[in-house]
Amino acid sequence: MKEHVDSMSPAQSALLEKYAHLLRHGFRGAYVHGLDAKGRMIVPSAFRPALGDKFYICMTPDLRAIAIYPAQEWELYYCSLLELLEKDMRMERVVNLFTKYTYDECECDAQGRVLLPQKLRARFLSDTRDVEVSGAGSHIRVMRADEAEKEYEQVSADIPDVLAFEAEIAAKHGD
């Protein structure tokens, strides 16, 4: 690994350093799991070590799905919302909504299942039994499996050429 770092440009090394935490502890991948009759879902075994023993269950930042955050990641995100609230009181509604749907001290049972709070299940999963459990970098995202497929199709329709889109953003910001 050391020889790779030595052969990198300073910009590449800085980029790796900036995102080192997510590279080592981030959530990646997608799995389809079922909810049992009690609303429990298996947390993929690949996600459990980074999640920790106690974690938060809340809404995703875009308010469109369920999020499961390691404690430190949730605290950092929540503090960033509070910082925005100090700058603009209109954020109070977002902070209040986010807080209303946040459950702390959550944990997996011995079988690796977590009980998703009923209020979040009702808001985001309705009566579905199949959910997509996917990595979203700093957190785990849980949504209806059929909605996840629609989301993929929508992104593909909105951004048909991802490489051109990336190049456009890089050029716009001088990267």
Predicted confidence (pLDDT) per residue in 74-103, tens digit: 999 999 999 999 999 999 999 999 999 999
Buried b (16+ CB within 10 A) or exposed e, 77-107: bbeeeeeebeeeeebeeeeeebeebbeeebe
What are the tens digits of pLDDT across the range 7-24? 888 888 888 888 877 777
CATH for 25-145? 3.40.1550.20
pTM value is: 0.85
- The whole-angstrom separation of Cα 152 and Cα 10 is 35
